[in-house]
Structure 1
Amino acid sequence: MIKSIIKDQQLLAKKATPATKADLSIAPDLIDTLNAHQAECVGMAANMIGITKNIIIARIGTLNIVMFNPQIIAKSCPYQTVEGCLSLQGKRPTKRYKKITVKFFNQAWQEQTISLTDFAAEIVQHEIDHCNGIII
Structure 2
Amino acid sequence: MIYPIIAYGDPVLRKRAQDIEQGSLDVKQLSEDMFETMYKASGVGLAAPQIGKSIRLFVVDGTPMNDDEDPDDEHDPSLDGFKKVFINPTILNEEGDEWAFEEGCLSIPQIRAEVYRPERVKIRYFDTDWNEHTEEYDGMAARIIQHEYDHLEGKLFTDYMSPLKRQLLKKKLADITKGKVKADYKMKFPKI
TM-score, normalising length from structure 1? 0.90
Select the structure that is richer in strand: 1
Q: What amino acid is aligned across from residue 7 of structure 1 in structure 2? A: A
Q: What amino acid is aligned across from residue 5 of structure 1 in structure 2? A: I
Q: Residue 54 of structure 1: which of 50, 53, 56 is its match?
A: 56
Q: 1:17 offset after TM fit, Å?
A: 0.7
Q: Residue 122 of structure 1: which of 136, 143, 167 is its match?
A: 143
Residue 119 of structure 2 aligns to a residue whose secondary structure is: strand
Deviates more, 1:26-35 or 1:101-110: 26-35
Gaps of 5+ in 1: none
Equivalent position of 1:14 in the other structure: 15
Equivalent position of 1:27 in the other structure: 31
Question: Which is greater in Rg?
Answer: 2
Provide the C-alpha distance between the structure 1 equivalents of 2:150 and 2:115, rounded to a whole number of angstroms: 11
Counting only pairs closer than 5 Å after superposition, residues 13-92 of structure 1 correspond to structure 2 as 13-21=14-22, 22-23=24-25, 24=27, 25-38=29-42, 41-61=43-63, 62-77=81-96, 78-89=98-109, 90-92=111-113
Q: What amino acid is aligned across from residue 100 of structure 2 in structure 1? A: Q
**How big is the alpha-carbon RMSD for the aligned residues of Structure 1 and Structure 2?**
1.5
Gaps of 5+ in 2: 64-80, 158-192
Q: What amino acid is aligned across from residue 154 of structure 2 in structure 1? A: G
Provide the C-alpha distance between the structure 2 equivalents of 1:54 and 1:108, rounded to a whole number of angstroms: 15
Q: What amino acid is aligned across from residue 74 of structure 1 in structure 2? A: N
Residue 52 of structure 1 aligns to a residue whose secondary structure is: coil
The answer as to whether partners of 1:31 and 1:64 remain within 8 angstroms in 2 is: no
Provide the C-alpha distance between the structure 2 equivalents of 1:17 and 1:127, rounded to a whole number of angstroms: 15
Q: 1:129 offset after TM fit, Å?
A: 0.2
Q: 1:14 offset after TM fit, Å?
A: 1.4
State the identity %.
28
Provide the C-alpha distance between the structure 2 equivalents of 1:135 and 1:51, rounded to a whole number of angstroms: 16
TM-score, normalising length from structure 2? 0.65
Provide the C-alpha distance between the structure 2 equivalents of 1:27 and 1:107, rounded to a whole number of angstroms: 8
The answer as to whether partners of 2:119 and 2:142 remain within 8 angstroms in 1 is: yes
